[in-house]
Amino acid sequence: MTDVVSIPISSGEIVQVPIGDLPDDVKDIMDMLKTERVPLSVWRNVALGYYQLQKFSQFEQILKEGTSEAVYSGLEESRADRVTLLNNLGAYYTDQAILERENERRDKLFEAAESYNKATKLDNRSEISWIGKGIWFLVKQDLTQSFQHFEHVYNQNKNFIPALLGMACVYYHQKSYHLALEKYVIVLKLNPNYSPRVRLGIGLCLYQLEYYERAKLAFERTLQLDDRCAEAWIGLSVIYLNDQNLSAEERIPKSLSMLEKAYQLSKNNPMILNHLSNYFFFKDDFEKAARLAEQAERNTEDHQVMAEALYYRARCFHAQREYAVASNLYQKALIYWPEFPLAHFGAGQILIEQQKISNAIEEFEKVQQYAPGNYETTKFLGI
C-alpha cells in the first residue's frame, strides 16, 4: 500500500496527501474531489487510504459518494472505474455481513447486492462483479448459485484464480474434497506466491481425505509463509492431538500450545472456542468448557459449528447430571445439524437415564445410520 494519495487539481498541480493526514471528517476532501472533477480512480485511492487506516466509515462514505449519479454523470468516461468502485463497495458490505448476525446481516447483504447489481448493469462482462456475486451467494449459503457465478467466469478464463478459488471453496462446502483439492493445486501451479491461504485450503482438503501427514506439511508451509494464520494452527493442533504415534504426554501439550496460538490470533473464532471447550471438558473443568462453547455459539452462523457448540454445552450439563438442560441442548444441536451422530448419541444416553428405552433405541439407530460401525451403539443395539 502507498503512504501518499495523489490528487490532481484543475491548475495542473498534484496535491500529495499523506495517508496518515486524511481527515476524520470526509466532507472537505469529498468537496475537493467533486469540485476538481478528479477521476474515479482517485476516489478509490482516497477510499483505500481510509481503509488502510481502518477508518471504515470514511471508506464507505467515499465509495458511496464516488458511485453516486451526481459524481458519475460528469465523468462518463469513467464507466470501468465506477464498476470497480461498486465492486469494492459490494465486497465491503459482504465482509461486514459475515461479521453481523440476523437483521444487521440481512441489511448488509442487501446493500452488497445493490452494489453488485449496479455494477453488472453497467458491465455484465466484468469478471470481478461475477466473482463478488458468487461470494455473496456463498455467504448466503446458496452453493448452487455461488458455483454458477464462479463457473461462468471460469468458462471464460480457465486461469482466472479468483474463479478457481471460488469453485474450490464451494466444492469443499459440498464435501467434494478431491475436486476442491484439484482446484487449489491448479492455483498453486499458476502462481506459487498467490496467497498462503491456498496452501491452507490444500491442507484442509488433505485432512478431510485423511492424508494427515500431507495435511500437516501443508499447514506447516502455510505458517512458514504466514505465522498469523489461525486456521493453520488449528489444523496442526487437531493433527497432533490425534497422532497415535505420540504419547499422550507429548501430543496433548503440543496440541494445546498450538491451539493457544490460534486463540491469541482470533479470540472469537468459533472453531477455536469449540476445540478449547473440548480440551477443558476432558480436564473436568465443565464451567469453563460450557462458557467457551456458549461463546462459540454466539460467534457463528454456520449450522454445523453451531450444532457442535450446543453439543459441547450439552455434554457439560450431561456430565453434571443436569439431564433436562442437556437434553434440550442436544435437541437444539440436532435442529441445526440433523445428521450429527454425537448429538444423537448424547440424546440417546439421556433417554436411557429417563428409562425411555424405545426412544433411546431410535436415537442409537440414527447414530448407526450417520456413523456406521459406532462401537457403543453397536454394543447397545446388539448388532
* CA nearest to 347, candidates 369, 328, 371, 322: 328
Lowest mean pLDDT among 117-121, 203-207, 301-305: 301-305
The beta-carbon contacts of 129-135 under 8 Å, at least 24 apart in sequence, are 129/83, 129/86, 129/87, 129/90, 131/162, 131/163, 131/166, 132/87, 132/90, 132/91, 132/94, 133/90, 134/166, 135/91, 135/94, 135/166
**pLDDT-based confidence at residue 155 (cuts at 50, 70, 90):** very high
Give the whole-angstrom CA distance, residue 217 versus residue 150: 29
What pLDDT, on a 0 to 100 scale, did the predictor assign at position 322?
A: 96
Angle between helices 27-35 and 56-66 (to 10 degrees): 30
pLDDT in tens, 98-110: 888 777 888 999 9
pLDDT in tens, 126-135: 999 999 999 9
pLDDT in tens, 48-92: 999 999 999 999 999 999 888 877 665 556 788 999 999 999 999
**pLDDT beyond 70 at 383:** no
**pLDDT beyond 70 at 313:** yes
Rounded to two decimals, the pTM is 0.86
Lowest mean pLDDT among 11-15, 163-167, 359-363: 11-15
What pLDDT, on a 0 to 100 scale, did the predictor assign at position 101?
A: 73
Q: CB–CB of 297/314 below 8 Å?
A: no
Q: Rg (Cα) of the chain, in Å, rounded?
A: 25
Q: Mean pLDDT throughout 283-309?
A: 94
**pLDDT-based confidence at residue 382 (cuts at 50, 70, 90):** low
Q: Mean pLDDT throughout 18-26?
A: 92
With cell 489461525, the residue in question is 230
